[in-house]
Chains A and B, each alone.
Chain A
Amino acid sequence: MSTILDLLDRPAIDDLARYNFAYLDEQTKRMIRRAILKAIAVPGYQVPFGSREMPMPYGWGTGGVQVTASILGADDVLKVIDQGADDTTNAVSIRKFFQHVAGVKTTTSTEEATVIQTRHRIPERALKAGQTIVFQVPIPEPLRFLEPRETETRAMHALEEYGLMHVKLYEDIARHGHIATTYAYPVKVAGRYVMDPSPTPKFDNPKMHMNPALQLYGAGREARIYAIPPYTEVVSLDFEDHPFAVNRFDRPCALCGAENVYLDEVVTDDAGGRMFVCSDTDNCEDRRAEGYVGEQTEAAESGLSGPREARS
């Protein structure tokens, strides 16, 4: 008995029913492309766009996927990461999506990629000129949790009225003794717009400043696109007596020994065992291939406690 899948495999049907390159129709791409151009011209300003339904739920990166689909060409090499990892569910499904609808080459190597879609980290390896990094953004409006009305936040951006954001950071200090915001840490772009860098850990905020790569941000549900051009000033908001500082880790990566990288905590058993490993899996694998070792490399490779096995 023939099934639907058999029918789909038949070349005649395949010729009939095909998606446009990169899924979106050309008219949608043009609309998104025009929004991207305005976003680049006004760094940090959120350009409204006609966000489309995508074949994945909101929250799975529909904004980033639409931006990527609109910029992607047949000769691009795509890398997709979820936090720092190439091999978690969201990254794998989006990578497969573009392999299917665009047939582009994909990679896990930061170095090799021309387009990197991310939720939400910026890779440890410095990005190069000519690369584009596309962020998946859930809530693009940095003032949204302070002022729920869109009409009001739009006026605040228009008037460059960002006092409320400083009050929020001050209240952090009053309550906790320090600025306790650790992700989606607000930044000021090119001295004008306050922008939400998506829920990127604040550890990555300094990488946005004067980055040689083009940074594009897409929010599907909220229908906004914004951008940071290469070599643009990006300042994390702070106070003179409470300057911005990134989180430090008190130990290196347990697998590759890297210091000054962002680490994930991985629970290894039900007796309180845990390890801290690189969030950026590509960076960690590169370092281990170069021979760097961490304190639990041996145990992980012998399979006694293996987050790597679980991931692959």
Chain B
Amino acid sequence: MSLSNVGSEQGSPLSGGFVDAVPEAQRAFHALMNALAQPGRCQPLKSLLAPEPLPGLLGTIGCTLLDHQTSVFLDEALQGGGQVGEWLIFQTGTVIADQRKDAGFAFIVDGERMRLADYGPGDQAYPDRSATLCVNVPSFAEGPRLSLEGPGIKGKMIIAPAGLPADFIDQWADNHALFPRGVDLFLTCEGEGVMGLPRSINIVQEG
């Protein structure tokens, strides 16, 4: 019996995930690396079969970056029901964090209610010990227009993701002011891909 047949019914922790882990993880990482190196520019990312309500693109990020050395916080919408936690644990070996501030990663589907300041910004001497927030949003084009400036961007970059908090600009200004501390964001959108917002960039309302 081949492993891919085990628990193939939808919703089992054993189903989904990478089929050919080595090249798929490399391609996904390549997208994430470019997303962070070119903030605001959407990178193609293949969506994985993952249990509801975990968006497939967050599943891809999970299988690419998580393992037993990481911890991930799931927002309320992902905690309630379903087998998201079990799936991530089985697929990656990661630890599910109880507290936002302790987590190295956070998977968020209710982006409107997230607060960047709840997550660990790292240490002034070790700013790499900060959280990476992976937020699935409904659209990359229908939200308020934001203007990005900073490392990785030639001139200016305009984005319009929907599903972020109403005061996202202010929250981001506080996050950016902490530099070199601060959290980094990956925004995913089904059918689009992934976009990176590293703490190093400045975001203002456009127009």
Contacts and interface: CB of A to CB of B under 8 A. Distances in A.
B90 interface: no
A27 B128 CA distance: 19
Interface in B186-200: 198-200
Contacts of A37: 32-33, 36, 65, 132, 184
B130 A38 contact: yes
Contacts of A228: 151
B165 interface: no
B128 A154 contact: no
A310 B23 CA distance: 39
Interface string A16-59: 00001100001101110111111111110101100000000000
A70 B37 CA distance: 16
Contacts of A84: none
A158 B125 contact: yes
A78 to B, nearest CB: 14
B136 interface: no
A77 interface: no
A193 interface: yes
A61 interface: no
Interface residues on A, range: 35 or more
A190 B64 contact: no
A141 to B, nearest CB: 13
A87 to B, nearest CB: 28
B124 interface: yes
Contacts of A35: 128
Given A37-B132, A40-B37, A41-B198, A72 B65 contact: no
A231 interface: yes
A74 B23 contact: yes
B37 A154 contact: no
A214 B30 contact: no
Given A40-B33, A42-B200, A47-B128, A26 B151 contact: no
Contact of B127 (A42, A70, A230): A42
A29 B25 CA distance: 10
B19 interface: no
A43 B22 contact: no
Contacts of A20: 22
Contacts of B33: 33, 36-37, 40, 71, 214
Interface string B29-50: 1101110111000000000000
B36 A40 contact: yes
Contacts of B127: 38, 42, 45
Interface string A65-78: 00000111110000
B102 to A, nearest CB: 17
Contacts of A42: 127-128, 179-180, 198-200
Given A30-B67, A42-B180, A231-B153, A71 B37 contact: no
Interface in B133-165: 150-154
B27 interface: yes
A302 B100 CA distance: 71
B21 interface: yes
A155 B124 CA distance: 9
A229 interface: yes
Contact of B150 (A33, A190, A214): A190
Nearest to A229: B152
A192 B179 contact: yes
A210 B154 CA distance: 8
Given A38-B184, A73-B23, A157-B125, 20 more contacts: A26-B22, A29-B29, A30-B65, A34-B70, A37-B33, A38-B128, A40-B33, A41-B184, A42-B200, A71-B26, A154-B126, A155-B125, A190-B200, A214-B34, A229-B36, A229-B38, A229-B200, A231-B154, A232-B151, A232-B152
6 interchain residue pairs of minimum CB distance = A229-B152, A41-B198, A38-B128, A232-B151, A158-B125, A158-B124
Interface of B: 21-23, 25-27, 29-30, 32-34, 36-38, 64-67, 69-70, 124-128, 130, 132, 150-154, 179-180, 184, 198-200
